[in-house]
A = this chain, B = another copy of it.
Amino acid sequence: MRPRPSSSTPPWTASPAMPGVDAADEFETIERLFRPLAHPQWGRSLIDDVAALPSRPGHDLILTKDAMVESVHFLPDDPMDTVARKLLRVNLSDLAAKGAEPFGYLLACFWPEASGWLEREAFAAGLAEDQAKFGVYLLGGDTVVTPGPASFSLTALGWIPQGRAVARAGAAPGDLIVVTGMIGDGFLGLKAARGELALEDERIAALTAHYRTPEPRVDFALAVREYAAAALDVSDGLIADMGHMAQASGVGILIDLEKLPLSRAATAWLETRVDPIAALTELATGGDDYEVIMAVAPNAIDGLKREADARHLRLTVLGVVTEGEGVVVRYGGEIVEVTQTGWRHG
């Protein structure tokens, strides 16, 4: 056996279409747009079929995979660079909420037949920008043409010290329910991007930007790992995701709606609404916030707050973990009925 060169090259495979289907440009897409994004060691020179990652002793590998479809998860008007960045960010958000540090990702692109180089170049440019921002690299994937809408699937990878991943399960009665950042800008951002909001231009721009490129709490992952008993990110909607935590942990959660942390844009929107309870409920069920919900033992809250302060990150205690099940929402001490579907409310 002669020594083999390293096989640690990116597993790009431009899946061939069946004969008769035009699959032009897939190889060039890889070569020209994606190869420069590959990991400097594992993706340096050659195309191969797989990525080979050295193991990291004492660490677990954390994996997550999210898919996005045009007109379902993003708008046809959304710029492709922000579509790419959002795809990466929603996956990094999942890792951060588990306490993991991201290092790479695999990507599947389904390009519409009518799409051209401009879209693909913008997509790759968006990835390049966020790779640099978050310190991750492309490890491999697939690129194909589809007669359907632009669709993407991304598998993100991160490391965490062995056994330290923070689960949805783990919340116990008496824990505080804490959330990072602001809630509702995802919901309002979608409305803003759709032109459905009557607010000042500056607010519309801020909300649209938040919808298109939410801020995953990557730099807070170590604090989550250190101080949270249970955690997940807000993707389905604050209340629905708290419901997931409650169910997984076998507990109930009680929160006060008036404690919802709101951006200035959300506050401005709230002032235009007749029914504050209905409006706050919309913000708490709209989803797409990508903040971190944590259950935190009372003796751990000071440590968590110090970590947040050091990062100028807002932390809000919304309520507590209780015996029982489900999420109970109060406003001014009175119980509010909220359905668990995430975006419908009664």
Contacts and interface: CB of A to CB of B under 8 A. Distances in A.
Interface string A58-90: 111111111111011101000000000000000
A53 B48 contact: no
Interface string A98-109: 101000001111
A47 B94 CA distance: 13
A97 interface: yes
Given A52-B160, A64-B51, A65-B155, A94 B13 contact: yes
Contact of A55 (B5, B55, B109, B169): B55
A21 interface: yes
Nearest to A157: B63
A232 to B, nearest CB: 6
B229 A2 contact: yes
B51 A59 contact: no
Copies in the complex: 2
A6 interface: yes
Contact of A94 (B2, B50, B153): B50
A121 interface: no
Contacts of A15: 66-68, 73, 235
A112 to B, nearest CB: 8
Most central of A46, A166, A236 by chain B CB within 10 Å: A46
A36 interface: no
Nearest to A3: B170
Contact of A100 (B50, B100, B233, B244): B50
Interface in A247-302: 248, 286-288, 297, 300
B244 A98 contact: no
A231 to B, nearest CB: 9
A146 interface: yes
B73 A50 contact: no
Given A49-B97, A55-B59, 4 more contacts: A16-B237, A46-B248, A50-B98, A55-B60
23 contacts: A2-B172, A4-B166, A8-B165, A9-B167, A11-B65, A13-B64, A16-B342, A17-B73, A19-B286, A21-B72, A46-B168, A47-B248, A48-B232, A49-B168, A52-B60, A55-B58, A61-B61, A64-B140, A65-B107, A66-B108, A66-B142, A67-B144, A146-B148
